[in-house]
A and B are shown apart, each in its own frame.
Chain A
Amino acid sequence: MRSILVVIMAVAIGACGGEGQQATQAAASTTGLKVYRHAMDQAPSTLDPVQASNVYANHVVVNAYDTLFSYKYLARPYALKPNLAVEMPEISDDELTYTIRIKQGVRFIDDPAFPDGKGRELIAEDFIYSIKRQFDPSQLPVGTWFWIERIVGLDAWKEAGSDYSIEVEGFRALDDYTIRIQLKRPYPQLLDTLTTGYSAIVPREAVEYYGKEFASHPVGSGPFKVIEYDTAKILFERNEHYRQEPVDIWYEGYDPETQAYTGVEVIHGRSPPFIDRLEIDFIGEDAARWSSFTKGNEVQYTVLPNEQVDQVLASKNPVTFKPEYAEKYHGYDVVEFGFVFNAFNMDHAEFGYREDPVENHRNKLLRCALIKAWDWPARSESFYFGLAKIYPGIIPPAVPEFDPDMSRDSVTRDVVEARRLLKEGGWTAENLPVFIFGGAAGIKNRLFFEQARSWFKEVGYPMEKMKLKQFATFGDLSKAWRNSELMYVSKGWGLDYPDAENTLQLFYGPNKTPGSNDANYLNPEYDALYEKSSVMRSSPERTRIYREMNQMIVDDCVAHTGLSRTRIFMWHKDVIALPDRQIVGGFFLKYVDLKTEDTIVEQIN
Chain B
Amino acid sequence: MAQTTLKSRSRQIYKPKLARQVKEKVIEFILFLAAFSSVATTVAILYILIKESFLFFQEVPIVDFLTGTKWTPLFVNPQYGILPLLSGTLMSAGVALAVAIPMGTIAAIYLSEFATKRVREIAKPALELLAAIPTVVYGYFALLYVTPFLQNFFPKLPGFNILAAGLVMGLMIIPFISSISEDAMSAVPVGLREGSYAMGATKLQTALKVVFSAAISGISSSYILGTSRAVGETMIVAIAAGLRPNLTWNPFDQAATITAFIVQVSLGDLPHGTIAYQTIFAAGLTLVLMTLLLNIIGHFLAKTYREIY
The yes or no verdict on A and B being binding partners is: no
